[in-house]
């Protein structure tokens, strides 16, 4: 299924919401790195790259944004608008993010450390890479 959507269990109660994310169970990999994107202007689009080996899960823990994923053939747009909704971003997927609400905090869980050499930042290079056996 593309995109892969994860629905995290809501553990909150009358005091407020709570979501717990555990590696290998809540998300399909070991969590090595966590980063978050915030204070992004409404008209800003970012991303526009693929990763060769990195797997990630993105969750809008506050506000909302759109995640556009492209496997080289099909492009899908997923609205991330709940702290209980995650989208899995596998290797070899071109991604961009847009339509950030003013209060959006996009949390990203990644299975590897930051490595610029894992990025493909040119779309034609991405398509060539996808065709390479
Ligand atoms: C992705 C999407 C969803 C680091 O030094 N360490 C890090 O862990 C990250 C994520 C970024 N950076 C540096 C690299 C750049 O100089 O922070 C700067 C901004 O990164 P970038 O332009 O790649 O940001 P986005 O929003 O385009 O992409 C990010 C992730 O980089 C990427 O892996 O899948 O979010």
The whole-number pLDDT of residue 133 equals: 81
| pTM above threshold 0.95 | yes
Chain segment 35-91, per-residue pLDDT in tens: 999 999 999 999 999 999 999 999 999 999 999 999 999 999 999 999 999 999 999
Query: Residue 123's pLDDT is what?
Result: 98
Of the residues 46, 55, 56, which should be mutated to test ligand 1's pocket, given the most ligand atoms within 8 Å of the CB?
46
**54 CA closest ligand 1 atom index:** 33
Q: Is 95 in the pocket of ligand 1 (CB under 6 A)?
A: yes
Give nearest CA residue, ligand 1 atom 25.
47
**For domain 4-131, which CATH number applies: 3.40.640.10, 3.30.2350.10, 3.40.50.10490, 2.60.120.10?**
2.60.120.10
Atom number of ligand 1 nearest to Cα 113: 8
pLDDT of residue 78: 98
Question: What pLDDT is attached to residue 2?
Answer: 87
SS3 34: strand
Report the nearest atom of ligand 1 relative to the CA of 110.
33
**Residue 116 pLDDT > 90, yes or no?**
yes
CA–CA separation, 11 vs 31, rounded Å?
Answer: 21
* Residues 85-113: tens digit of each pLDDT: 999 999 999 999 999 999 999 999 999 99
Does position 13 have pLDDT exceeding 90, yes or no?
Answer: yes
Buried b (16+ CB within 10 A) or exposed e, 101-131: eeebbbbbbbbbeeeeeeebeeeeebeeeee
- pLDDT score at 1: 80
Gyration radius of the chain's alpha carbons: 15
- Assess contact for 56 and 35: CB atoms under 8 A: no
Domain-by-domain residue ranges, the chain?
4-131
Measured in whole angstroms, the distance separating CA 12 from the mean position of its chain's CA atoms is 24
User: In testing the pocket of ligand 1, which one of 35, 50, 66 has its CB within 8 Å of the most ligand atoms?
Assistant: 35
**Smallest CA separation from ligand 1 atom 22, residue:** 47
- Taking CA atoms only, the protein residue closest to ligand 1 atom 7 is 114
């Amino acid at each position: 299924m593309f995109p892969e959507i994860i629905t995290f269990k809501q553990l909150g109660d009358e005091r407020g919401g709570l979501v717990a994310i555990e590696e290998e169970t809540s998300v399909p990999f070991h969590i090595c790195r966590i980063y978050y994107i915030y204070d992004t202007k409404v008209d800003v689009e970012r991303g526009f790259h693929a990763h060769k080996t990195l797997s990630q899960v993105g969750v809008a823990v506050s506000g909302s944004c759109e995640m556009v994923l492209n496997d080289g053939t099909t492009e899908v747009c997923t609205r991330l608008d709940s702290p209980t909704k995650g989208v899995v971003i596998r290797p070899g997927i071109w991604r961009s993010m847009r339509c950030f609400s003013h209060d959006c905090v996009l949390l990203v869980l990644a299975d590897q450390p930051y490595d610029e050499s894992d990025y493909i930042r040119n779309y034609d290079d991405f398509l060539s890479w996808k065709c390479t056996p």
